[in-house]
C-alpha cells in the first residue's frame, strides 16, 4: 500500500436546496450562471453550454445548486449532494 503524502484542500461552496418555495432565488442563481431555465410543474428544465456541449438537465424539488470557489454552478440530487458535501459552521 502506498504511503500518502498529499491530500486535496477542502473545497468550499455555497449551496441552495430547492424546496419549491424559493423558485425565484434558484432561477436567479441558475440564470446568472448562464443557464436557460424553463419552469414546469415540479421541475425546472435547464439548458446550458459548457466549453464543448449544449447540455439539457432537469432539476427537481429537493435538488441542490452549488456554486464553488471557482464560480462554477452545478446541480446535484439530494442523495449525491449529501455524499459529497457537509455543512460547515465557520463559513468564511
- Over residues 60-80, the mean pLDDT reads 91
Residue among 48, 44, 45, 46 nearest 20 (CA): 44
The 54-60 sheet, strands edge to edge: 36-40, 43-49, 54-60
Q: What is the mean pLDDT of the chain?
A: 86
On the CB side of 26, CA atoms within 13 Å amount to 24
The three-class DSSP label of residue 81 is: helix
Question: What is the domain partition of the chain in residue ranges?
Answer: 13-84
> How much is the pTM?
0.75
Give tens-digit pLDDT for 16-43.
999 999 999 999 999 998 889 999 878 9
Cα separation, 30 vs 89, whole angstroms: 25
Distances (CA, A) of 43 to 18, 51, 89: 10, 25, 30
Amino acid at each position: 500500500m502506498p504511503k500518502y503524502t498529499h491530500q486535496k484542500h477542502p473545497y468550499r461552496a455555497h449551496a441552495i436546496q430547492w424546496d419549491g418555495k424559493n423558485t425565484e432565488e434558484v432561477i436567479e442563481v441558475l440564470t446568472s450562471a448562464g443557464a436557460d431555465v424553463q419552469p414546469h410543474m415540479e421541475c425546472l428544465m435547464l439548458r446550458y453550454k459548457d466549453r464543448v456541449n449544449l447540455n439539457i438537465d432537469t432539476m427537481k424539488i429537493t435538488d441542490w445548486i452549488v456554486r464553488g470557489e471557482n464560480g462554477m454552478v452545478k446541480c446535484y440530487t439530494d442523495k449525491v449532494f449529501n455524499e459529497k458535501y457537509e455543512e460547515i459552521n465557520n463559513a468564511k
